[in-house]
Amino acid sequence: MAGDDIRLSKLVLEDVRGGKLREAYRRDLRDIYRFYLTDDQRERVAGMGHFKRFFWVFAWLARNLLLRLAPARRILLVVAAVLFMFRPKWTLGTHFRFDLDFSQGAFLLVLIVLMLELKDKLLARDEIEVARQVQLSLLPKAQPSIAGWDLWSATTPANDVGGDLIDYLDGAGGRMGIALGDVAGKGMGAALLCAKLQATLRALAPAAANLEALGASLNGVLERSGLDNRYATLFYAEISAGSSEVLYLNAGHNPALLVRGDTIETLAASSLPLGMLPGIAYAQGTATLRAGDQLVLYSDGITEATNASGEEYGLPRLQSAVRAAASLPAEAAARQILGSAGRFVEGEKPHDDQSILILRRTGA
């Protein structure tokens, strides 16, 4: 027991000496503000004075916190608030006065609620860790090697599991398939739908007559078995060894950036995301890359990354970073682009999954 107390004391001292507590607390407060207040509430308080803003933010935080608790825990927290504020006093005659202080009981009830919430979180974390290991096993084990091409990809989920898809697979006609997708939302639900999209793509791509047929088939599967308000964007391309031609399908995804020296072309979406509506038609596109050209695929978690002031990284900054890395190999270019986005957000926690895939033509 004494050894455990010593280790706990050392841990607390290390936390205090870390020197980044102020930044951590500010970041936590911003996360609380963004999580518990709706977009409409944040817009309403933006135009208020300091005192009025404090009152309404506190009231909305308390209300929204209570609404998210289970009924039994909600009652415990309400009782704790009443006990903390209610301090009865009685005076008998001129010599006897009784002051009752229930604050310790209020603290105990809050501690019980905190312990119950933490217990749920730790149990859920064990399950999420298993899901994370499964999702990691579905990622490419290594960057592929194909004559005339240089490829590199990376993905970082906003939470323990994410809804971004990166995959290399066998395409039709012996070509290599390259996929970067983004399922709407994040967390466990997005991760499960992402796994479904990946499995469906792997099953359908090798036998697809063309990318138009592939898009229609993928959309049909996801639309029939999908969930409300759940859909996926996908940029899928196929390349062949020694060929400079790229066949691609953009199903509602961010426009890919085709870098030719100092110029950037965009390969925009030809149709809606997958799983949104039945019977959607998809178009196959073709691009020819010369030696040194790069095709940059990315998820909107990069362009929508925000700094502490709420400013987005945005497409213009991404294009500048892509242009600055145009002469680098695929891996170095991707790392430089991700580094640019990371420096912009200044250590802020990402609010969406971030993925990038760079395809560089090396042969003539």
CB atoms within 10 A of CB 239: 25
Sketch out the chain's domains with CATH numbers: 2-134 (no CATH), 142-361 (3.60.40.10)
Percentage with pLDDT > 70 across the chain: 88
Measured distance CA(107)–CA(119) in Å, rounded? 18
The position carrying tokens 């994410």 is 162
Task: Please give the pLDDT value at position 15.
Answer: 63
Greater confidence (297 vs 171) lies with 297
CA torsion angle for 225, 227, 233, 238 (degrees, to 10)? -20
pLDDT tens by residue, 140-151: 788 888 999 999
The position carrying tokens 């003539």 is 364
Mean pLDDT of the chain: 85
Task: Please give the pLDDT value at position 13.
Answer: 67
Those residues whose C-beta lies under 8 Å from the C-beta of residue 236, and which sit 6 or more positions away, are 177, 178, 179, 181, 201, 205, 211, 214, 248, 249, 251
Distances 134 to 59, 209, 232 between C-alpha atoms, Å = 41, 31, 20
Our measurement of the distance from residue 197's CA atom to the centroid of its chain's CA atoms, rounded to an integer in Å, reads 17
User: At 229, which amino acid appears?
Assistant: N
- Residue 348's closest CA among 296, 313, 322, 297? 313
Measured distance CA(287)–CA(255) in Å, rounded? 13
Our measurement of the distance from residue 326's CA atom to the centroid of its chain's CA atoms, rounded to an integer in Å, reads 26
Those residues whose C-beta lies under 8 Å from the C-beta of residue 266, and which sit 6 or more positions away, are 255, 256, 257, 258
Question: CB of 243 within 8 A of CB of 230?
Answer: no
- Residue 217's closest CA among 228, 230, 206, 201? 201
pLDDT tens by residue, 50-78: 888 888 988 988 898 888 888 998 999 98
Greater confidence (130 vs 157) lies with 157
Task: Please give the pLDDT value at position 39.
Answer: 84
pLDDT tens by residue, 225-260: 766 677 899 999 999 998 999 999 999 999 999 999
Q: Which of 117-121, 149-153, 347-351 has the lowest mean pLDDT?
A: 347-351
